[in-house]
Amino acid sequence: MAAPRSIGSLTISFGLVAIPVKLYTATQSTAQISFNLLHKECGSRLRQQYICQKDGQIVERDDMVKGYEFAKDQYVAFTPEEIKTLDEVGTHSIEISEFVPIESVDPVYFDKTYYLAPDKGAAKPYTLLTEALKESKRCAVGRWASKGKAYIVMLRPVGDVLAMQQLRFASEVRPAKEIDVAKADVKPGEMKLARQLIDQQQADLFDPASYVDEVRGRIEAAIQKKVEGHEISISEGPAPSTGKVIDLMEALRASLEKTETARASATKLGPRKAPKRVEEATRPARKTSKR
């Protein structure tokens, strides 16, 4: 993988402190696999055209303008120059306005992520800010403007690097309370089995490298077969869920047994012991007699 290249320079500012930094993208988008529209008869690619709904004429790009629909089928047109004046002026500064506990920022607000590295002569203040955020377990929240848009950003330490997380505005996030969730009573035995299942499948850390894009791999393999002149087999996908009501306790027991079986097979530790633990999870506590 090629070494990352800076895509810009910024300045982190709070109070009278200014820290010049370099901006790097934190993620790399995998090119999306897309399919073009072809003429079924000859296999030639089709070209998209824009048709005027009023007179049915083909409209070339030079004759197009952007407009906003303020009422049904009623528009106000804007020239490129007018739209440009409405855009937010880009800034080269991240203006920090507050420091908040990291856990107080719900991940539902997370958007694009960038990395920040100290520019020339900024190693010490950069390191000081990073370590202070680690020690305080807080993140910095501020504002940034780029490419005609204003952003809320959060600066948080990722190891020795500062990550700049773009955040969505409150108006862009639907409150979870708007979702109707039916209430249900959970029995102690059910909770114990559920916790046992979680304990069986727990991991100390999330390892993203252990997950691969299987769908993309399947599509790429099918494309390669087509390129080589082979036909691909068409198989039915997984059966849709029927929404059938299940016995929760039995489902939890079966899940525990399945997980334990897979673990015993993978680690070659011999016969599983899950059934005994499952039985113990729902067995009433044994009374002890006093002497």
At 41-64, the pLDDT tens digits run: 898 998 888 999 888 899 988 888
Question: In the chain, where does the domain assigned CATH 2.40.290.10 lie?
Answer: 8-26+87-172
In CATH, the architecture of 8-26+87-172 is Beta Barrel (2.40)
Distance, in Å, from the CA atom of 151 to the CA atom of 154, rounded to the nearest integer, reads: 10
d(CA 89, CA 7): 18
CB 66 within 8 A of CB 57: no
pLDDT tens-place string over residues 183-238: 888 888 888 888 888 888 888 877 878 877 777 787 788 888 878 887 777 665 55
In a 10 Å sphere around its CB, with 0-12 CB exposed, 13-18 middle and 19+ buried, how is residue 155 labelled?
buried
Percent of the residues in the chain that have a pLDDT greater than 70, as a whole number: 82
Whole-angstrom CA distances from 208 to 25, 148, 162, 213 are 18, 33, 20, 11
The tokens of 38 are what? 């072809």
Q: Which region among 87-96, 110-119, 265-274 has the lowest average model confidence (pLDDT)?
A: 265-274
Helix (H), strand (E) at residue 58 = strand 58-59
CA 192/CA 282 separation, integer angstroms: 8
Please give the model's pTM, rounded to 2 decimal places. Answer: 0.63
Tokens describing residue 254 = 């079966």
Structure tokens at 162: 């500062």
Other beta carbons within 10 angstroms of residue 96's beta carbon come to 21
Indicate left, alpha or beta for 115 from its phi (over 0: left) and psi (-120 to 50: alpha): beta
Q: For residue 276, what is the DSSP state?
A: H
DSSP β-bridge partners for residue 65: none
d(CA 204, CA 222): 37
Closest residue by Cα to residue 154 from 197, 106, 202, 225:
106
